[in-house]
Amino acid sequence: MFPNDLPGFDGDTLHEECGVFGILAPGEDVARVTYFALYALQHRGQESAGIATYDEGSIHVHHGMGLVAQAFSEPELSQLTGSMAVGHTRYSTSGSVRANNCGPILTQSDLGSIVVAHNGNLTNAVALREELESHGEVFESSTDSEVLARVIARAPGVTIVDRIRNAMARMIGAFSLAILAEGRVFAVRDPYGVRPLCLGTLHGHKVVASETAALMTIGATFDREVEAGEIVELREGDVVSHGATPASHEALCLFEMIYFARPDSQIRGLRLHEARQRMGRELYREHPIEADVVVGLPDSATPATIGYAKESGIPYAEALIKNRYIGRTFIQPDQKLRERGVSLKFNVIPEVVAGKRVVLVDDTIVRGTTSRPIVNLLRDAGAKEIHMRVHAPPIVWPCYLGVDFARREELIAARLSVQEIGEEIGADSIAYLSLDGLFRAIGSNGAGFCTGCLTGSYPVPAFTSLDKLALEVRSKNGSRATKVGIAK
């Protein structure tokens, strides 16, 4: 158990679902560029990180557990030579946290090695894996990403592009991919475009990344988003689209706009910091309240908190201070600390809230386990009233597309009414932004987004991989190296 599960800790956030990056840049230190791009995508996965490079026919791979900075040392990075690379930061939405589940996934085919960095979740991974196993395929991990890589490797087709295309027709779910194969780099997005993926240019070289923030970090310019269902090949100084086979409608995860993607990223032409401020403004218009101060849960709710304050005219203040340097620790607080409701992640500045009517803005309430301790912290610091405002509608259905809340009974809004949630967390009042208000904030009529966890209406037709450990019992203890390995 991680301390994220402890009371008073930040354990009730949605967890992102991996970050991917790819680059083709002869003459550049592609591993180092990838490292810093992954650094910028750290928020999308903190359990492990990996980079694979291609160097004149050889593939070099390094995976490591933990944060990007923990997964790589200078000597390891310098062994990752080559002219192209793909990288991955992982949060486990499929498979447990262990070394042989790290991405990117390396597999073999008659076309040579194929390396896949995957963001998303295949909902038919179990069926696909069973089919491959019935043909003698032996899996090394318990991830849907390995299933995906092997489906590509075994797909019919003379060229790697044919195989990717044919594999895409068989895979159901969310997948934004950076692929290294045949000495070429590809960017691939599922037909619904559930997860973001964008193309950029770095000193004339082409790159692909989960988010534009990673492009900014490495000094690349943003070119365009990969289209839903599109296969793009990075070439020297250019990209070639091998065509797009989109679904009947796009279904970008709405929570990328609300929470997952960094506020400095841009999706569909919207800077997310600005979009989230507008969510805060809409939230006030829908649910005004008389109060003395507006505070937000750092950092993800900060833009919407600013928006709520601007729209209401109520002063914005920082009251909750987050320990930003916290990493995962296996040391548990003892019972005494637990009883005192120890908060490892947040402290309150009492002077900001004492004797005041406080609006507390948050982006989501998933299980409800964090909200009560936060309300208690504010109350203990002297807040007179606490009015919770959430800049997204209640999450009442699970996600099957790469976000880690697969069971409906875990969701507080599936069990309780809004008023009951307010009572449960101890707030004086509570209100959520409506779906219409959310769409107004992002200038959308609602088309082109997945709203599955809010409405129960999902873009993909079949769900067979509900459990993130569904493939666990099937995996053998693989021997994939976590140190630098070389494969042809």
Binding site for ligand SF4 (CB under 6 A): 194, 253-255, 399, 401, 403, 450-453
Asked whether the CA dihedral 420, 393, 469, 18 is positive or negative, the reply is negative
**Among all residues, which ones are annotated catalytic?**
18
- Least distance in angstroms from the C-beta of 441 to ligand SF4: 15
In the complex with ligand SF4, which residue's Cβ is closer, 140 or 250? Answer: 250
Smaller CB separation from ligand SF4, 229 or 373: 229
Q: Going by C-beta distance under 8 Å and a sequence separation of 6 or more, which residues neighbour residue 297? A: 320, 360, 361, 362, 363, 374
Q: How far is the CB of 38 from ligand SF4 (least distance, A)?
A: 22
Smallest separation (angstroms) from ligand SF4 to the CB of 207:
25
CB 118 → ligand SF4: shortest distance, Å? 15
Taking the complex as a whole, the smallest distance from the CB of residue 321 to ligand SF4 amounts, in Å, to: 28
Measured in degrees and rounded to the nearest 5, phi and psi for residue 116 equal: -125, 125
Please state the closest distance from residue 263 (CB atom) to ligand SF4, in A: 17
